[in-house]
Amino acid sequence: MRNPLLDTNFEACTKCTICTEYCPVSEANPAFAGPKQSGPDGERQRLRDASFYNETLKHCTNCKRCEVACPSDVRIGDVIALAREKHAKRSFSPRDAILSHTDFTGSLCSSLAPAVNFVCGLKPARYFMEKFLGIPAWRTFPKYSWQTFRSRWFNGAPPQDEYDETVSFFHGCFANYNNPSLGIDSVRLLNALGAGVRLLEEERCCGVPLMASGFFDDAKKNALANKAEIERALEKTDKVLCASSTCVMTVRDEYPDVLGVDNAAWRDKFDLLTRHAYRLLERGKTPRFKPLEITVAYHTACHMEKLGWSAYSIELLKLVPGLKIILLPSQCCGIAGTYGFKRENSETAQKIGEGLFSDIRDSKAELVVSECETCKMQIEMSAGVPCENPVTVLARALAG
Amino acid sequence: MNNEKLFLGARKRVRETDAIIIGGGATGAGLARDLSRRGFECVLFERGDLATGATGRNHGRRHRGARYAVTDQVSAEECVKENSILRKIARHCVEETDGLFITLPEDDLEYQKNFIVACRAAGISAEALDPEFAKRLEPSANQTLIGAVKVPDGVVDPFRLTVANMLDAVSHGALCHTYCEVTGILVENAVATGVRVRDNLSREEYEVRAKVVINASGIWGGRVGAMAGVEVKMFPTRGSLLILGHRLNRLVINRCRKPADADILVPGDTVCLIGTTSIPIKFEEIDTTVSDREEVDILIREGALLCPEIETARKIRCYCGSRPLIADENDKTGRSTSRHIVLLDHETRDGLKGFVTISGGKLITYRLMAEMTTDLVCRKLGKNVPCDTHSVPLPGSHEPPDKILRKIAPLPPTIKAAIVHRHGDMATDIAAEGASATSLVCECELVSAAEVEHAVDTLAVRNMTDLRRRVRVGMGPCQGELCMSRAVGILADKGVCPPSGCPGELASFLVERWKGIHPLTWGETLRESEFIMWLYQGVCGIGPSDLEPGRVPGEAPGEAASTETPPGAPPG
């Protein structure tokens, strides 16, 4: 098999260091040597001798802002992820296993949702979690939903066969276990744009939290399973859509680049929901929106920045009458998926997000809009302003 | 190892000594070590920096004799023996990588059989591998190979080796005078009695008397011989090497055929290099010869046959040196060269007492060459002291790396690994505390400010290029883009150059680096050099006019004016 490192273009690095300039972690945590040192520079050393691997690579949040900044098209985040996969010391951590195996944790917590949500709100329980698992007690946990999105769907979804076209919907873990209304809103929006929706027969976590905690083998298993399901879905529909920026980035880019799972045959057909919605709009589908007299602040999540597709969501939001949109400067909120849930990172995570939080508070927006589910958790906790996916905002504005 | 910090840079002048060594390559440094350990006073004169001739620039990285097994049994045996010694005495300069001799479809498999037989005869364990196994063992090797032989092999860092020898010599009383050029040999009544020297830094000239004058000046041996009125016939051939951006291979990859152009790919430090070519040049050209584009083409084309990735991999630089090939004394026609060690006692050969030439050989046999020469000096001066350079480790090689690593606990693992790789047990002399210990000067090669300060303080650094040879500053893919401005600041702080001399120092380093970049200016290498130009010419305003008149790029200011213009234009 071809060495994936060779595809990272790491030799194109001109050492300009702009990646480190843009790295949210380098600024907040001096222990991290920065993307240039950890990525292309470090790789040359590691190719000589594995003893040059530095455990500080774990500080990388895989936000990909370095890759966006790089003028030489070096896939710096991938270099770091591949190095971690190859060299990082593996030690089993129950916390990391719980946080990263979202399907397992999600189905367990959903089935016990009221109890889990209640217990996770209790001080002694949080003390226990901090003490024994290393999850900071002050960190707000996402609520689990009593009924998953999938079970709701299969227990009475509106009929989907009366539309001109059908698309497949990849709901992602967060919509399934924590925020089923995002799944429902996605379906409503697509229906309003004249597209019927079907789910994949089976869906697993895209794998991003697994990679973040070093479970590369499990991530690859999920990737292969999802690949098979996506290919099956594409026999019946032209597109597989997902509302979460991170799931989209992972399935499109991380599958081939980090996990070595080939998706060339269908990469372009796995799309961000708002991007496809915009295309439907271009094709003349016009949903009817009712006025929504609120001010929202649009936050560009890191993986949205990497995809480069914020404009699609923003253009859609502009169609809602009365909606006032403030564009926040693109910056990392610090949570980076499960990163901020780990005690050793939590301080860095909050420090990274400070700028964004004060921008949000200064904006006086009533609602923050972002495609990323963990940005939502972080922003709601740290800036004290609710945060929703643009799909939810658009669905709320749908007339009738 | 004693705790006394070794120091190379002393410029203590003496009027008289036992032996004068001309040339600061591996042989000269090895000689200084051997002579001083056997109780002789000696002074080494080198017109530039240590390891600037063939030692540092001509295919010096491989150290097993397998390559010569078929064509040159004597050299092969010498290499085998010296290699096993180096593994003991210079472990911080040597890396065991093992080597692969591959046979491609266009090569004759018969050669492989002869090769294995010849290797074994020379005492080299050679093992034919199943081609499929060989491909998996070294995935970067050409996957069309039809045969492969694995031999023990490794690489040696010539700069580190030379400096370690010199440090040991200095600790035994030898004097190391770099940037001191021998301008004449004093001959009285058919006896060489000393040398006339010009200090290229202060431009002062003086004379030093000695009982023996040893010409260890490699390819310049002919010129030095002529100063003493004896003929030493050299056959300069240019050998070019191409450095690639990172290690493509783990094992040294060779073609299993008669040695030819560009048939060896050697991993070393953070890079790997493909070499070499062999082009006869005129003696007058030895100081100015540069690789041409045709050689670059040969190196890439032939190199890609060893390792196809060479075609697309980033090329950092192309450089060349002159092989110190010396005429075979046994050949009356004077046209053939000797591949072996040539030790000329000019007393018996030319009737000139007190003058000795040591030449030929290989980098790997430098110690043996020094031993043979010192034995001769012993006979001449009537001293009978046995050689111990084969059993006593060099400074830096007293302790194994894992033990040294434990001694320098507080540093980040990458910096720790880098300094132990470069300095062996001398890494403990480098400050491990304070901001300079963790601030990187050269990010490509992981050189901390503390390491630069250590080199400037103790390793006779007179300019940026010397610093590069000591600690690899500016040897990475960017060729000094970020580190040179940081390093020059430290040089100025330490008084190596005045603050006003910094632009000149940078210009000199830029031009010297450009020399090796300009045959490769396409693709990533071109982008990088453009970026360097924006930074140093565009932002800092440094240009060719900052170079002191007459200064040879890469060498110290005050260097005797050389009329040759530097090859290639400076950037911009």
CA distance B493 to chain A (A): 25
Instruction: Confirm if B405 and B417 have CB atoms less than 8 A apart.
Output: yes
Taking the Cβ of residue A140 and every Cβ of chain B, the question of whether any pair is shorter than 8 Å is answered with no
Give the model's pLDDT for residue B269: 87
Nearest to A172 by CA among A64, A224, A245, A229: A245
C-alpha separations of B153 from A387, B89, B267, B393 in Å: 62, 17, 11, 20
Both tokens of A74, joined, read 């070096």
Q: Model confidence over A259-308: pLDDT tens digits?
A: 999 999 999 999 999 999 999 999 998 889 999 999 999 999 999 999 99
pLDDT digits 0-9 by tens, B6-46:
678 788 899 999 999 999 999 999 999 999 999 999 999 99
What residues of chain A lie within 8 A of the CB of B314, using their CB? Answer: 11-12
| Closest A-chain CA to B524 | A12
The proportion of chain B whose per-residue pLDDT surpasses 90, expressed as a percent, equals 71
Q: What is the mean pLDDT of residues A42-46?
A: 94
Omega before A274 cis (within 30°)?
no
Compare all CA atoms of chain B with the CA of A46 and give the residue at the minimum distance: B270
Asked if A48's CB is within 8 angstroms of B267's CB, the reply is yes
Contact yes or no for A17 and B482 at CB 8 A: yes
Q: Which of B247, B413, B524 sits opposite A54 (nearest CB)?
A: B413
Give the nearest partner residue to B417 out of A14, A47, A51, using CB atoms.
A51
Cα A88 from Cα B520, distance rounded (Å)? 36
Residues of chain B found within 8 Å of residue A11, distances taken between Cβ atoms: 245-246, 313-314, 477, 524
- The tokens describing B307, both together, are 């390792």
Contact B313 A11 (CB under 8 A): yes
As a CATH number, domain B16-54+159-234+327-381 is 3.50.50.60
The Cα diameter of chain A in Å comes to: 64
**Under 8 Å CB-to-CB from B190, ≥6 apart: which residues?**
B351, B352, B353
What does the alpha-carbon distance between residue A107 and residue A105 come to, in Å, rounded to a whole number?
Answer: 6
Give the residue extent of every domain in chain B: 16-54+159-234+327-381, 96-155+236-323, 401-546
Decide if B45 contacts B179 (C-beta within 8 A). no
**Beta carbons of B247 and A3 less than 8 Å apart:** no
Hey, how many other C-beta atoms are within 10 angstroms of the C-beta on B458? 20
**pLDDT number for residue A163:** 92
pLDDT in tens, A49-69: 999 999 999 999 999 999 999
Would you call A51 and B413 a contact, using CB atoms and an 8 Å cutoff? yes
Contact A49 B417 (CB under 8 A): yes
Radius of gyration of chain A (CA): 21
Q: How many CB pairs under 8 A join A and B?
A: 75
A51 contacts chain B (CB < 8 A): yes
DSSP bridge pairs for B187: B192
How confident is the model at residue A373, as a pLDDT?
95
Domains B16-54+159-234+327-381 and B96-155+236-323 share a fold: no
pLDDT in tens, chain B (572 residues): 333 556 787 888 999 999 999 999 999 999 999 999 999 999 999 999 999 988 887 655 555 667 777 777 888 888 889 989 999 999 999 998 899 999 999 999 999 999 999 999 888 899 999 999 999 999 999 999 999 999 988 889 999 999 999 999 999 999 999 999 999 999 999 999 999 999 998 999 999 999 999 999 999 999 999 999 999 999 998 999 999 999 999 999 999 998 888 889 999 889 999 988 989 999 888 888 888 889 999 999 999 999 999 999 999 999 998 888 898 888 777 777 887 899 999 999 999 999 999 998 889 999 999 999 999 999 999 999 999 999 999 999 999 988 998 888 788 999 999 999 999 999 999 988 889 999 999 999 999 999 999 999 999 999 999 999 999 999 999 999 989 999 999 999 999 999 999 999 999 999 999 999 999 999 999 999 999 999 999 999 998 888 888 787 877 776 443 333 334 434 33
What does the CA dihedral B79, B80, B86, B88 come to, rounded to 10 degrees? Answer: -170
Measure A255 CA to nearest chain B CA, in Å.
24
**DSSP 8-state code for residue B411:** S
CB contact under 8 A, A51 and B476: no
Q: Which residues of A touch B440 (CB under 8 A)?
A: 37
ipTM comes to 0.89
> Which chain A residues touch B417 with a CB distance below 8 Å?
45, 49, 51-52
Interface contact B446-A45, CB threshold 8 A: yes
Quick one: pLDDT at residue B62?
A: 59
If 0-12 CB within 10 Å is exposed, 13-18 middle and 19+ buried, where does residue B569 land?
Answer: exposed
**Residue where the block lists tokens 């990388």:** A60
Nearest Cβ partner of A14 from B413, B446, B528? Answer: B528
Domains of chain A: 4-87 (1.10.1060.10), 295-397 (3.40.50.1860)
Tokens (6 digits) for B542: 């440094």
Q: Are strands A324-327 and A367-369 parallel, antiparallel or unpaired?
A: unpaired
What single-letter amino acid sits at A160?
A: Q
Q: Which residues contact B136 (CB under 8 A, 6 or more apart)?
A: none
Q: Is B259 exposed, middle or buried (0-12, 13-18, 19+ CB in 10 A)?
A: middle
Sort out which chain A residues have CB atoms less than 8 A from B527's CB and list them: 12, 14, 72
Q: Contacts of residue B418 in chain A, CB cutoff 8 Å?
A: 45, 52
Give the pLDDT confidence score for residue B287 in this predicted structure: 87
Which residues from B are below 8 Å from A49, CB to CB? 417, 421
* Token duo for residue A234: 């594409």
A55 — contact with chain B (CB < 8 Å)?
Answer: yes
| Closest-CA residue to B159 (of B397, B556, B474, B470) | B470
Q: What is the longest distance spanned by two Cα atoms in chain B? A: 68
Q: Which residues of B touch A (CB under 8 A)?
A: 139, 245-247, 267, 269-271, 309, 313-314, 412-414, 417-418, 421, 440, 443-444, 446, 476-478, 481-482, 524, 527-528, 531
Nearest to B443 among A15, A49, A72 (CB): A15
Closest residue in B to A5 (Cα) is: B248
b/e map A89-106, b = 16+ CB within 10 Å: eeeeeebbebbbbbbebb
Residues of chain A in contact with residue B478, where contact means CB-CB under 8 angstroms, are: 14-15
B chain contacts of residue A42, beta-carbon cutoff 8 Å? 414
Nearest to B481 among A15, A37, A41 (CB): A15
Gap between the Cα atoms of B253 and B429, Å rounded:
36
CB-based burial of residue A19 (10 Å sphere; 0-12 exposed, 13-18 middle, 19+ buried)?
buried
Strands B315-323 and B237-244, sheet pairing: antiparallel
Residue of A52, A79, A87, A89 to mutate for B, most B C-beta atoms under 10 A: A52
The CA–CA distances, whole Å, from B230 to B158, B198, B371 equal 30, 22, 23
Does B417 contact A52 at a Cβ distance shorter than 8 Å?
Answer: yes
pLDDT at position B5 is: 56
Cβ–Cβ below 8 Å for B413 and A55: yes
- Nearest CB partner across the interface for B531, out of A16, A51, A52: A16
Cβ-based burial of A268 (10 A; exposed 0-12, middle 13-18, buried ≥19) = exposed
Pairing of strands B337-338, B326-327: antiparallel
Chain B interface test: which of A43, A47, A72, A79 (most B C-beta within 10 Å)? A47
- Given a contact cutoff of 8 angstroms between Cβ atoms, the answer to whether B365 and B78 are in contact is yes
Separation between Cα atoms, residue A17 and residue B245, nearest integer Å: 18
- Which DSSP string corresponds to A224-263? HHHHHHHHHHHHH-S-EEES-HHHHHIIIIIHHHTS----
- Nearest Cα of chain A lies from the Cα of B253 at a distance, in angstroms, of 16
User: Do the chains contact at B527 and A12, CB–CB below 8 Å?
Assistant: yes
Give the Cα separation of A76 and A98 in Å (integer). 28
Whether residue A44 and residue B139 make contact (CB cut-off 8 A), yes or no, is no
Beta bridge pairs of residue B22 = B45, B215
What is d(CA A73, CA B455) in angstroms, rounded to the nearest whole number? 36
The tally of CA atoms less than 13 A away on the side-chain side of residue A395 is 20
pLDDT-above-70 percentage for chain A: 99
Encoded tokens for B178: 């770099």
User: CA dist B345 to A151, B350, B353, B551, Å?
Assistant: 96, 8, 8, 36
Q: Do B270 and A54 touch (CB under 8 A)?
A: no
B496 within 8 A of B179, measured Cβ to Cβ? no
- The fold of the B96-155+236-323 domain, in CATH, is D-Amino Acid Oxidase; Chain A, domain 2 (3.30.9)
Question: In which residue are the tokens 């600037």 written?
Answer: B52
Tokens found for residue A263: 């998706």
Distance from CA of A329 to the nearest CA of B (A): 29
Q: Phi first, then psi: what are they for B62, rounded to 5°? A: -100, 150
Instruction: Report in angstroms the alpha-carbon separations of B383 from A260, B28, B39, B193, B371.
Output: 69, 20, 9, 19, 14
> Closest chain B residue to A1 measured between Cα atoms?
B139
Closest CA of chain A from B441, distance in Å = 12
Q: CA B197, B199, B205, B207 torsion: positive or negative?
A: negative
CA distance A216 to A47: 20
DSSP A327: E
Q: What pLDDT sits at residue B572? A: 34
* pLDDT tens column, B189-236: 999 999 999 999 899 999 999 999 999 999 999 999 999 999 999 999
Structure tokens that stand for A131 in this block:
């003490």
Residue with tokens 């002869």: B114
Query: Which of A46, A51, A58, A70 best probes binding to B when mutated, by most B CB atoms within 10 angstroms?
Result: A51
Position B63 scores a pLDDT of 55
pTM, rounded to two decimals: 0.91
Interface membership of A35 toward B (CB under 8 Å): no
Which of chain B's residues have a Cβ under 8 Å away from the Cβ of A56?
412
Q: Report the run of H or E that residue B203 belongs to, with start and end.
A: none
- Report the residue of chain A nearest B248, measured CA to CA: A47
